[in-house]
Structure 1
Amino acid sequence: MTTTRDVDTPSSRRRRDTPSRRRAPHGRRAARGRRRSPWRTALLVTLALVVLGTAGLGWIYLKLNGDISTFDADGLSRNRPDAAASKGQNVLVIGSDARTDGNAALGGGSKDDIGRSDTAFLLHVYADHKHAIAVSVPRDTLVTIPPCKLPDGSWTKTQTNVMFNAAFSIGQTQQGNPACTQNTVEQLSGMRVDHTVVVDFKGFAALTDVVGGVKVCLPNDIYQNDLNPNRPTRGDRIFAKGEQTVSGQKALDYVRIRHGIGDGSDIGRIKRQQAFVSSLLKQIKSEGLTPTKLLPLATAATRSMTVDPGLGTADKLISFAMSLKDIDLHNTKFVTIPWRYEGSRVAVVEPDASDLWAALRADRTIDGKDASGKQGKHKATATASASASPTESVSGEGVSVAVYNGTTTRGLASEAAQLLTRHGFTVTGTGNASSRQHTSTVVQYGPGLQTRAETVAKLFPGARLEAIGGAVLNVVVGTSYADSAAAVPTPTAVPGSVADDARSADDDLCSDLTYGAGG
């Protein structure tokens, strides 16, 4: 049934279309409300865009998170260097030659081959976040590999005088053993590694594609048998002499070439890899290090990258990358650990190597600048070689010794191991002593080893000798050593033997690309 109220008559329409005087105030409020309507609409649109944008960014981050692989941090050493030794950050970058997951198509070899570290460098980002230095470690370097965790949960014994790249292969898995390589670098340098990044062939090739290629330079023409010496013929020319831009497979071929340039050594290849990374940094810097530019890079990288848990999320990874944006190309240096040939292998040269690590722990740049971020924090009181040891004449050649921390001061065993190594001793391992209450340093020795123990004791003023059973030679450092180690003068700079061979990220593209004959 229809009421009078529901009937739409001409008079009722006139009454609705002509507000009465009593409704005027409400009408004015309504008019004001209508005038605000466009702003409300704009606000709603803006909010909608923000929500959609955030959702889109969230989707990107979720996608990146899904692509990031992390390795097991339980495999890290139980006796690591003190994190407070340097205010800067140390990032270990490992190039893996694993052939799994499609990498065999790019790098050749069997897809079932175990992972090896084809290249590695430790990037030290100074505390002022304006300087950085990358220290390359040749894969054939003879080092001590400390105990490392195997896939079955057990731990290996310390290995001495073995090739550096063997650490990544411990466990014989296709994914390699990044934690073991990190342990080895910490043992070698006495520096705590904050983050480790492993990049395989695919990840490397994808990075170069995303940035639109990388400029490189060749000192001479390169042919197919330079990349694969097993070829019966020279093959086609794959690189012409001079500057060119490479990406993808071509970029990978460039950094892998060892033969056909200079003496064909891995040292020469390291020089070209350093030049390549420098050029890559230039390209990224020219594009601008912004989140917008970083996302495509991060997308490409995370698909074929394994990182430590500390970089295991997209926000952590991008945040770390953004923390590097203020580092100038000229202040980004590339060096190689002091080395010499020992037969077909590479030996670390001391005391230069230990002086290098000590300078980095003190946040000293190549030219001696204090890059700790706090002026006057590290006052140079001696030359770089002054920190070599209390007694320069001590030689530990042919003497093997284990080092144990008998205090609660973290990283002390690693520091003592560095002292012994720089004097030629072979350190068979480091760890914590059963008692952590030692005030003085003790050199323990088995039958027939007293003379060697006395030689070791010369490096530890006030140390006492203790005869024990077994064919062992141990150093148990006490708080007296902790006090003396703290008093060691800070090096003024990276050793000259290292600095003279350094490359800056802004150096000429074609400079210093060979080593040895023809270089």
Structure 2
Amino acid sequence: MSGSRGGGTHHRVRTATFVAMAFVVLLTAGAGWLWLRLNGNISTFDADGLSKNRPGAGVAGQNVLVIGSDSRAGGNSGLGGGEGDVGRSDTAFLLHVYRDREHAIAVSIPRDTLVDIPPCRRPDGSWTSGRTRAMFNSAFSVGESAKGNPACTQNTVEKLTGLRVDHTVVVDFEGFSAMTSAVGGVEVCLPKDVYQGDLDPHRGSRGGLLFAKGQQTVSGQKALDYVRVRHGIGDGSDIGRIQRQQAFLAGLIKKVRAQGFNPAALLPLADAATRSMTVDPGLGSADKLLSFAMSLKDIGLHDIKFITVPWRYEGDRVDIVRPEADALWASLKADRTIDGKDAGGDRSKGRPAGGAQASPAPASRAPAPQEPVSGEGVSVSVANGTRVTGLAARAAAALERHGFAVDGTGNAVVRNAGTTVIEFGPGRAADARTVARLFPGAFIRGVAADGVTVTVGRDYASASASASASAGASGSASGSTSGSASPGAAGSGGSSAEPSAPAPGTLSTDVAATARSADDDPCANLSYG
């Protein structure tokens, strides 16, 4: 009896072992099949088209160029986009992942930006001549192929930034739509009701309601429509929708993070993502993509930032503003965050590279820019956002000395502003940038109301007080009896008592002030203009 019971127990254990082994084999085989499927999804582009004169590889963080293609080729034909089968870049941003793997920033490059495009390789192997002052998105269309020319766009970004692009990823409409569906939709926000005619201005009528004002969850075609719509919101331009695209990406990241490492959710997303991507050979396998994705897992939502390269309108196109843009590229190259922190640390040692403690960038200031500020033809309203008596009048006087027309002054409803805010209405972005030259570090944002308004904060009060004191001390030393200069007044030596602009290489504080974090309110700052 006892022997029989022992034999039965042994048999059950052996059977359970075989079942467990079989389960492991099936699971491993299934994972292997899935891995083969993901590998089979991935397309790569020809690296022979990369420039032979590239920036040197850095020792700091990684730079990944992400391009959204609006080609109608293949399954994209039913989703809208460009005419014909030629690939075009509808949106692009440079993602910088800092060396500490705890910070990341995505810098949007408007598609209408005027840039220099270096020689690029055509599909037939020949090379184009370099072009100057060409639209940024035209680089992707060199060769007029259905998949576009990612290498040419990468060469253009490297020439523009002086940064080496470690990887390039192209995502098409079909894949983007599938990814949003795979995560169960993304929460977005609309500043107003949007109609079919806003998405397609050639429709000839307003059409039906596409999106109702306010927060909602979108996926598939609706998600694609959200990131593409531009008419009827803000200034109606391509650059006007960039902030909504950044808000959408923030929402997508937030949704993926909220689901956690759940295979049931991640596998459909991985399948959709790999089917939609064309990547450089360095990311051309599921192993490589997974390794890169896992390197981002410790970055908190608040430390994922979105900004747009410093810009201004140039007629119907967009120009990059220097030296602000150059300072931005320099800060990324040095692995310094937009708020001045050293993020070049070696996490394996728990301290920044070289053993130095992380510290903020020096808040050094250069002399005022040599090019004078002219406000001719620009009208501005000024409000005092502090309890400092007469601050609005002081700012108004500085503006008038530079030719601005001041529509009026007054007190803001809320009077505890720490940072000066410049708000501009549709079509007034260029005027706002001109005004901002007199208020370094101001937060600039587009609003629905017309005109340009400056609400001065405590930063302006402090800077103008320091400038007045400095001017007064200078006057005393030279025997002057004319009194101290007021903010904005130019002295006889050509110097200005205004708060000065950031030195080249020092990142302007308004870049940090206008950045979006992945955990920000989805309804905040949704459009330029």
Question: TM-score, normalized by length of structure 2?
Answer: 0.70
Structure 1 residues 385 and 314: alpha-carbon distance in aligned structure 2, compared to 1, 3 A threshold? farther
Are 2:62 and 1:49 aligned?
Answer: no
CA 1:291 to 1:83, structure 2 compared with 1: closer, same or farther past 3 Å? farther
Q: Does 1:99 align with 2:112?
A: no
> What SS class does the counterpart of residue 103 from structure 1 fall into?
helix
How many angstroms apart in 1 are the aligned matches of 2:10 and 2:60? 55
- Which residue number corresponds to residue 242 of structure 2? 270
Alpha-carbon offset, residue 383 of structure 1? 4.3
1:120 to 76, 92, 113: 92
Q: Give CA deviations for 1:300-323 in whole Å, capped at 9, x if unaligned.
A: 112222111111111211221122
SS at match of 2:302: coil
Indicate which of 174, 191, 198 corresponds to 1:219: 191
Give ranges in structure 2 of 5+ residues lacking alignment: 346-350, 372-502
Deviation at residue 128 of structure 1 after TM alignment: 1.1
- The residue that corresponds to 1:166 in the other structure is 138
- For 2:314 and 2:184, locate their aligned partners in 1 and report how far apart those are by CA, in whole Å: 41
Determine which of 40, 62, 72 is the counterpart of 1:66: 40
- Distance (whole Å) between structure 2 residues aligned to residue 118 and residue 290 of structure 1: 32
State which of 302, 319, 322 in structure 2 corresponds to 1:347: 319
**Aligned-partner Cα distance in 1 for 2:122–2:325:** 29
Tell whether the 8 Å contact from 1:90 to 1:194 is kept in structure 2 after alignment: yes
Sequence identity (%): 65
Query: Which SS does the other structure have where 1:330 is aligned?
Result: helix
Residues 108, 180 of structure 1: alpha-carbon distance in 2 compared, 3 angstrom cutoff: closer
Match of 1:322 in 2: 294
Counterpart amino acid of residue 362 in structure 1:
A
Question: What is the aligned residue count?
Answer: 390
2:398 is aligned to: none
Q: Is the 8 A contact 2:339 2:509 kept in 1?
A: no
Superimposed CA distance per residue, residues 454-503 of structure 1 (whole angstroms, 9 cap, x where no aligned partner): xxxxxxxxxxxxxxxxxxxxxxxxxxxxxxxxxxx9967x4323212111
Between 1:162-171 and 1:366-375, the stretch displaced more is 366-375
Q: Which residue of 2 aligns with 1:243?
A: 215
Partners of 2:82 and 2:119 in 1: how far apart? Answer: 29
More displaced stretch, 133-142 vs 319-328: 319-328
- Structure 1 unmatched ranges of 5 or more: 1-16, 18-26, 395-488
| CA contact 1:378–1:490 (8 Å) conserved in 2 | no
User: 3-state SS of the aligned residue for 2:273?
Assistant: helix
Q: Which residue of 2 aligns with 1:331?
A: 303
Cα distance in 1 for partners of 2:8, 2:204 equals 85
Question: 3-state DSSP class of the match of 2:251?
Answer: helix
Structure 1 residues 260, 134: closer, same or farther in 2, change over 3 A?
same
Q: CA deviation at 1:150?
A: 0.8
Q: Write the letter of the residue equivalent to 2:68.
A: G
Deviation (angstroms), 1:369? 1.3
Tell me, yes or no, if structure 1 residue 507 matches structure 2 residue 507.
no
Aligned to 1:36: 10
Is contact 1:220–1:241 with CA below 8 Å preserved after alignment?
Answer: yes
Pairing 1:367–2:339 present: yes
Contact in 1 for aligned 2:309/2:320 (Cα 8 Å): yes
Instruction: In structure 2, give the amino acid aligned to 1:69.
Output: S
Q: Which residue of 2 aligns with 1:433?
A: none
Counterparts of 1:274-285 in structure 2, within 5 Å, are 274-285=246-257
Asked if 1:157 is matched to 2:170, the reply is no
- Seen in structure 2, the aligned counterparts of structure 1 residues 384 and 218 have a Cα distance that, compared at 3 Å, is farther
Match runs of 1:281-296 below 5 Å: 281-289=253-261, 293-296=265-268
The match for 1:210 is 182
SS at match of 1:165: helix
1:496 corresponds in structure 2 to 509
CA displacement 1:130-180 (0-9 Å, x = unmatched): 111000000011111111111111111211111100100011111100011
Query: In 1, Cα distance between the equivalents of 2:86 and 2:307?
Result: 29
Out of 48, 60, 63, the residue aligned to residue 90 of structure 1 is: 63
Distance 2:522 2:360 in 1: 34
Contact 1:69 1:305 in 2 (8 A): yes
Q: Which residue of 2 aligns with 1:77?
A: 51
Distance 1:126 1:384, change over 3 A: farther
Q: Is the aligned partner of 1:129 residue 2:101?
A: yes
Q: CA deviation at 1:378?
A: 7.1
**Structure 1 residues 315 and 118 mapped into 2: Cα distance closer, same or farther (>3 Å)?**
same
- The residue type paired with residue 199 of structure 1 is V
Q: Which has the higher contact order (CA 8 A, sep 6+)?
A: 1
Amino acid at match of 1:514: S
Q: What is the Cα deviation at residue 124 of structure 1?
A: 0.5
Whichever residue aligns with residue 51 of structure 2, its letter is: S
Q: Secondary structure at the match of 2:10?
A: helix
167 and 108 in structure 1: CA distance in 2 versus 1, 3 angstrom threshold:
closer
| Cα pair distance change 1:42/1:146, threshold 3 Å | same
Residue 397 of structure 1: aligned partner: none
Change (3 A) 1:194 1:258: same
* Shift in Å, 1:83: 1.1
- Secondary structure of 2:67's aligned partner: strand
Name the CA distance, whole Å, in 1 between partners of 2:6 and 2:364.
77
SS at match of 1:230: helix
- The corresponding residue for 2:446 is none
- 1:27-70 CA-partner distances (Å, limit 9, x unpaired): 98x99776533333222222211111110000001111111111
1:177 is the counterpart of 2:149: yes
Secondary structure of 1:102's match? helix
- Structure 1 residues 185 and 233: CA distance shift in structure 2, 3 A: same
Shift of 1:275: 0.4
